[in-house]
Chains A and B, each alone.
Chain A
């Protein structure tokens, strides 16, 4: 576990020193969300109807936007090479990086989400479920996204490419995340959706570090 904590500590320290990244992700999320009322009109009931979907789509895009830097800078300055040559499990290093990514992007998004829900006139009954669903969904976004971020190392136009690779894989999280909020707004239990999201998160936790570590080793060849 030394690798996990060492890399987590280093990445969080880096994020603190160059703090603009997290702020930018949240700003992107807020700006994207505010675009929708301009697109569909300011009627309160329409906005309330689409609020959960809009928040989830914006969160997906915001999380995806920050993926490129998960490994890219380390790849460019030679750090990644040394990480693969460190006497620790690369899978745990990957897990540490994914956790750092979530703490610096997913967590701020969860905090910002209720604010946007209020602005989109969402029924307060859905707030709790929205936050729980994001708590389960956003770590999976970071874990799955890390695979994409590792695969594009050394590619041309990596930023656009990563969105093409990762967004189709995000669809289940979007469906169940938005579905959970929808259910809560209808007054039905959202337990089923939340359980499936939990299952997706566990699966991602178990499987993605291996895929990402494999992709990183390939990138080093």
Chain B
């Protein structure tokens, strides 16, 4: 059942993982929120607004993580032609787009007290904005076809092309912008963030990642079940045509298939 993406195998693998994943995500995000909102120190310059960072940075991380995930799914779909890869990419896009939008919104909220303006053409914010455009293009393309499978395949190709482009876009935006802050999380000489801020940040990042996988599994399940239902519809089983709908012992008529499929 290649074309229908071995739903039972997918479900079988994910069913026992899901409750644990949900539990871990809830614990991670709850403790992350506790440490970031209550137990973490206030920045000596920024005051309490620094707490936006605990949402902003993980959201930015997720925006990039989801795009990389989509591109990997696109590559797998290209190489192994496994439909589950298309479905995963398709299910990832709205999650990634939401996180990217969240990153932009929190960035804007953070920027208002920091820079005195809602939006600056800061290199990293601008790159995230372009990433959001890439997500929106993907979502629009995937949904523009009557045949959902064709949409998924086209989307996978686009995700790959986009992934090749992301570093070029990043580079050119960095070049274009001279007013950006230096990267502060990952640096060659170790993180510059205060150690007391690292724990909540790490908790939130792991929590967000866990949340992503929970939602991904649920969305893929949904998609698989939808496909199943469409397949059954095409098979002519739900022929709600007068007496048929009562599901009486009507002999199966092969011509249903041929006609319904037109």
- State the A residues within 8 Å of B (CB): 147, 151-152, 154-158, 161, 164-165, 167-169, 171-172, 175-176, 179, 196, 200, 207, 211, 214-215, 218-219, 221
Assembly CA distance A86 to B215 (angstroms): 45
Name the one of B140, B141, B162, B168 contacting A200, with C-beta atoms under 8 angstroms: B168
3 A-B pairs closest in CB distance = A155-B144, A172-B172, A168-B133
Assembly CA distance A151 to B176 (angstroms): 30
- Are B150 and A221 in contact (CB-based, < 8 A)? yes
Find the B residue at minimum CB distance from A176.
B172
- Are A155 and B169 in contact (CB-based, < 8 A)? no
- Are A169 and B141 in contact (CB-based, < 8 A)? no
Assembly CA distance A121 to B136 (angstroms): 37
The reply to whether the CB of B160 lies closer than 8 angstroms to some CB of chain A is yes
Name the one of B130, B145, B157 contacting A168, with C-beta atoms under 8 angstroms: B130
Q: Determine the interface band of chain B, counting residues with CB < 8 A from chain A.
A: 20 to 34
User: Which residues from chain B contact A147 at a C-beta distance below 8 Å?
Assistant: 157-158, 161
Chain A nearest Cβ from B229, distance in angstroms: 23
Known: A168-B133, A168-B137, A215-B157. A152 touches B176 (CB 8 A): no
Contacting A at CB under 8 A, from B152-210, are 153-154, 157-158, 160-162, 164-165, 168-169, 171-173, 175-176
- Are B134 and A151 in contact (CB-based, < 8 A)? no
Find the A residue at minimum CB distance from B78.
A214
- Are A218 and B158 in contact (CB-based, < 8 A)? no
Name the one of B144, B158, B173, B175 contacting A156, with C-beta atoms under 8 angstroms: B144
User: Which residues from chain A contact B146 at a C-beta distance below 8 Å?
Assistant: 156
Assembly CA distance A152 to B140 (angstroms): 10
Chain A binding surface SS class? helix
Find the A residue at minimum CB distance from B126.
A171
- Are A218 and B150 in contact (CB-based, < 8 A)? yes
Assembly CA distance A209 to B79 (angstroms): 18
User: Which residues from chain B contact A214 at a C-beta distance below 8 Å?
Assistant: 78, 157
Name the one of A161, A167, A168, A169 contacting B144, with C-beta atoms under 8 angstroms: A161
User: Which residues from chain B contact A157 at a C-beta distance below 8 Å?
Assistant: 144
Assembly CA distance A152 to B141 (angstroms): 7
Most A CB atoms within 10 A — which of B144, B160, B162, B169? B144
Assembly CA distance A154 to B136 (angstroms): 19
Known: A172-B168, A207-B164. A156 touches B145 (CB 8 A): yes
- Are A218 and B145 in contact (CB-based, < 8 A)? no
User: Which residues from chain B contact A164 at a C-beta distance below 8 Å?
Assistant: 133, 136-137, 140-141
Additional A-B contact list (10), CB under 8 Å, known A151-B141, A171-B130, A172-B171 = A154-B150, A156-B146, A167-B133, A168-B162, A172-B168, A179-B175, A215-B157, A218-B150, A218-B154, A218-B157
Find the A residue at minimum CB distance from B130.
A168
User: Which residues from chain A contact B137 at a C-beta distance below 8 Å?
Assistant: 164-165, 168
User: Which residues from chain A contact B169 at a C-beta distance below 8 Å?
Assistant: 168-169, 171-172
